[in-house]
Amino acid sequence: MNIKKLTSPLRGELNVPGDKSISHRAIMLGAISMGTTSVTNFLQGADCLSTISCFRKMGISIETEQEEILVKGKGLHGLSRPDTVLDVGNSGTTTRLLAGILAGQKFDSDLTGDESIQSRPMKRIIRPLAQMGAGITSVRGNGCAPLHIEGRSLKGIHYDSPVASAQVKSCVLLAGLYADDITSVTEPYLSRNHSEIMLDYFGATLTAEDTTVTIYPDPILEGQKVSVPGDISSAAYFIGAALLIPGSEILIRNVGVNPTRNGILRVCEKMGADITLMNVSAEEGEPTADILVRHSRLHGITIDGSIIPSLIDEIPVIAVLAAFAQGETVIRDAQELKVKESNRIDVVVSNLKAMGADVTATDDGMIIRGGQPLTGTLIDTKRDHRIAMAFAVAGLAAKGETQLLNGECVTISYPGFYQDLAALSR
């Protein structure tokens, strides 16, 4: 995929696809609830399609009818033993949340995914699930997938998570549905709370206080209508592009702006961005808004601490913005970036350097001295969708032409990304 410097502004309106985190959860909770769950604006990206395929293998009917996905749930104990290994593709969310559900089943299962998934850390879920009494092992003994899971009866525990990870938290909460007592999770900083909101919406009993969530076991979950808001992580690339390209003004409609996800908006505003939220509303507990973005002159800032989990997937595009901003941007406390689809600290830093940016990798983030002229070059995306989209944005603002190696990996979370970008730049 080749991206040329954009010489005219981005103008117009767009709807980004449905939120990836919420789409995964709608299928999972729909499958373990009684009755039909209808999901609209479901993200048809490869990751969420992997979640659908895993639940189909466990006897759940999931069909598309016009604009809706219909999940025919069979209740907490209605899944059947899959005949084959469950393939999660490239999706960490599928792997970790599904493992929590599988741990409490009455059957054994095997779960694996692509090369990237097979190198991502799974000890972070093996440890709490084992404390609950689950039989979960890393088949190669390296703490990664493939995972073998023996379904067992589970004990309620309190888990003090060393990482602020919604995948770890959600894994433990989902296993907690099958436990003999209440289960709670405390995390160092609050991570995205879509599981808590949706579990409550489907009828589970939970309480949340600061960074601790407690769930009661064995609820009666009932199928619901879920309308998935647009994904702020996908909107982030258009926010970034409109901020960088002179004269741009775009409106992104119906974006999820849950406070545990909207760190990108807070950071952009602190960098001097002209962003206005319109039509703010909150259906099903998930706030949404239309986001108006105008080209702005940005300056560097420090990004660290509790805001990090609320923008973790947006750091690649934030780093691109920082490279075009005046002054220094320091990103700290973001060591989780090393264990995503690629090592996002190394890959962002090496690609920004290749374009001419002045940037240094650190142990838990990076330091970007913005304002150097950037020039298009060959970008190795490492087949990481966030890297491809972040460097597509860099390519629009840099001199010359940027080539994205394996740029088609955007299909993981945003199949129509390049088309939507082209539509706004016409």
Ligand X SMILES: C=C(OP(=O)(O)O)C(=O)O
In the bound state with ligand X, the residue whose beta carbon lies nearer, of 179 and 349, is 349
CA distance 327 to 368: 8
For 16, 127, 247, 257, the CA distances from 346, given in Å and listed in that order, are: 28, 28, 32, 29
CA distance 403 to 354: 12
313 lies in the site for ligand X, by CB under 6 A: yes
Give the contact letters, 37-76, x = binds to ligand X (CB under 6 A), - = no.
Answer: ----------x-----------------------------
What is the SS3 assignment for 301?
coil
Q: Which does residue 165 touch among ligand X, ligand S3P, none (CB within 5 to 8 A, set by kind)?
A: ligand S3P
Q: With contact defined as beta carbons under 8 Å apart, do 109 and 151 qualify?
A: yes
Query: Least distance in Å: CB of 118 to ligand S3P?
Result: 16
Query: Least distance in Å: CB of 44 to ligand S3P?
Result: 16
Residue 98 CB-density burial (10 A; 0-12 exposed, 13-18 middle, 19+ buried): buried
Q: Which does residue 336 touch among ligand X, ligand S3P, none (CB within 5 to 8 A, set by kind)?
A: ligand S3P
CA distance 238 to 26: 26
Query: Least distance in Å: CB of 167 to ligand S3P?
Result: 3
Span 166-225, contacts to ligand X by CB under 6 A: none
In the bound state with ligand X, the residue whose beta carbon lies nearer, of 48 and 298, is 48
CA distance 22 to 321: 27
Query: Least distance in Å: CB of 191 to ligand S3P?
Result: 6
In the bound state with ligand S3P, the residue whose beta carbon lies nearer, of 98 and 245, is 98
21 lies in the site for ligand S3P, by CB under 6 A: yes
CB atoms within 10 A of CB 103: 29
Binding positions for 3-phosphoshikimate are: 20-21, 25, 165, 167, 313, 340
Residue with tokens 């969708």: 385
Residue 220 CB-density burial (10 A; 0-12 exposed, 13-18 middle, 19+ buried): exposed
Please name the residues in contact with 142: beta carbons below 8 A apart, sequence gap of 6 or more: none
304 is an active site residue: no
234 lies in the site for ligand X, by CB under 6 A: no
In the bound state with ligand X, the residue whose beta carbon lies nearer, of 93 and 170, is 93
Q: Which does residue 413 touch among ligand X, ligand S3P, none (CB within 5 to 8 A, set by kind)?
A: ligand X
232 lies in the site for ligand S3P, by CB under 6 A: no
Q: Which does residue 19 touch among ligand S3P, ligand X, none (CB within 5 to 8 A, set by kind)?
A: none
Cis before 128 (ω within 30): no
Query: Least distance in Å: CB of 71 to ligand X?
Result: 19
Span 339-378, contacts to ligand X by CB under 6 A: 340-341
Span 330-369, contacts to ligand S3P by CB under 6 A: 336
CA distance 305 to 197: 24
One of 19, 231, 290, 313 is an active-site residue; which one? Answer: 313
CB atoms within 10 A of CB 198: 23
CA distance 426 to 14: 13
Query: Least distance in Å: CB of 219 to ligand S3P?
Result: 21
For 79, 244, 337, 366, 376, the CA distances from 354, given in Å and listed in that order, are: 49, 19, 20, 15, 9
Q: With contact defined as beta carbons under 8 Å apart, do 378 and 12 qualify?
A: no
Span 144-173, contacts to ligand S3P by CB under 6 A: 165-167, 170
In the bound state with ligand S3P, the residue whose beta carbon lies nearer, of 68 and 336, is 336
Question: Torsions phi, psi of 45, nearest 5?
Answer: -90, 165
In the bound state with ligand S3P, the residue whose beta carbon lies nearer, of 244 and 312, is 312
Residue ranges in contact with ligand S3P by CB under 6 A: 21, 92-93, 165-167, 170, 191-192, 312-313, 336
Residue ranges in contact with ligand X by CB under 6 A: 47, 91-93, 313, 340-341, 386, 413
The catalytic residues are 313
